[in-house]
Amino acid sequence: MADQRLVTTIAQARARRKQLDGAWGVVPTMGALHAGHLSLVERARAENDHLAVTIFVNPAQFAAGGDLDKYPRTLERDLALLEPYAVDLVFAPANAEIYPPDFQTYVNVEKIAQPLEGAMRPGHFRGVATVVAKLFNILQPDRAYFGQKDAQQVAVIQQMTRDLNLPVEIVVGATQREPDGLALSSRNVYLAPAERQAAPILYRALCAARDAFQRGERDGANLRAAMRATLQTEPRAEVEYVSAADPRTLAELDALQDEVLLSMAVRIGATRLIDNFLLRE
Ligand code: AMP
């Protein structure tokens, strides 16, 4: 498909970036776009003069034996979905453009990347931080847009941006959901029909803990127990972790103050789903 906005090399992306003065927003994605991605695109479009969307299934953030090979790749469809947003630059590089054979420099964010997803997916955030730092350097955006759906990813990127004095504002968009509460995810296509029916159990578990918080529950262990109790009602749900943590440090909380990040990773069949609520009093 001959598309003026679609570029695949770093040189082309830099040239396009240089052509257009004014504020640039970027939405980094792995493609297989859905309404969650598009909500970020819409916001970035409204808040900037120019808009870049990146589509790159980043091998560095997948574990060996993970779902890298079967991750959905739907570039033609993605470009069609982006059409209404008048994107100024779609950057969809090949692996070798981002990771040439002699590549050897990685960004390691330390403490905040260690618990939760970091504990379950060793090396994941090293891959995320590295590719995001590279995309920031290639595209030099004024603002970059990320989804609250990946709460720890947001925390890691904010930490990296502060620590490395990257001149970009990190903007966080709300999690977009199906009508039954399931958070939109490119991985939802892996769910067989019966699994898809079971998947909103994550949302319901988060709601149960949120309701307890709103009734005044301030014991972190009780909120974790409330999430587990709901998840246990679904035989297809296999819990990896449930967490009620300090949103600033991601440390598990016992006595809650005014803020808590409820989060979980749950396997439904072979598909690993994550979700979270950020609660503020
Ligand atoms: P991904 O393509 O999965 O790497 O996601 C690209 C961006 O979209 C990330 O910042 C995600 O957090 C965000 N995102 C993914 N799913 C959702 C969702 N359901 N609602 C809002 N943002 C999302």
Q: DSSP string of 104-124? A: -------GGGSSTHHHHSTTH
Binding pocket residue ranges, ligand 1, CB within 6 Å: 29-30, 36-37, 39-40, 146-147, 149-150, 173, 175-176, 183-186
Tally the residues of the chain: 281
Smallest CA-to-CA distance from 201 within 245, 236, 175, 176 is with 236
Q: What is the pLDDT of residue 1?
A: 43
- Ligand 1 atom closest to the Cα of residue 40 is 22
Give burial (CB, 10 Å; 0-12/13-18/19+) of 264. buried
Give burial (CB, 10 Å; 0-12/13-18/19+) of 52. buried
Weakly modelled stretches of the chain, pLDDT under 70: 1-4
Per-domain residue ranges for the chain?
Answer: 3-173, 186-280
Q: What is the pLDDT of residue 203?
A: 99
**CATH architecture, domain defined by 186-280:** 2-Layer Sandwich (3.30)
Domains 3-173 and 186-280 share a fold: no
Q: What is the pLDDT of residue 3?
A: 59
Q: What is the pLDDT of residues 89-123, one digit of tens each?
A: 999 999 999 999 999 999 999 999 999 999 999 99
Whether residue 37 lies in the annotated active site: yes
3-173 CATH fold: Rossmann fold (3.40.50)
Q: What is the pLDDT of residue 257?
A: 87
| Cα distances (Å, whole numbers) of residue 120 to 62, 85, 114, 148, 228 | 12, 36, 9, 19, 18
Marked catalytic residue, from 34, 37, 50, 124: 37
Secondary-structure breakdown of the chain: helix, strand, coil percentages, each rounded to the nearest 5: 40, 20, 35
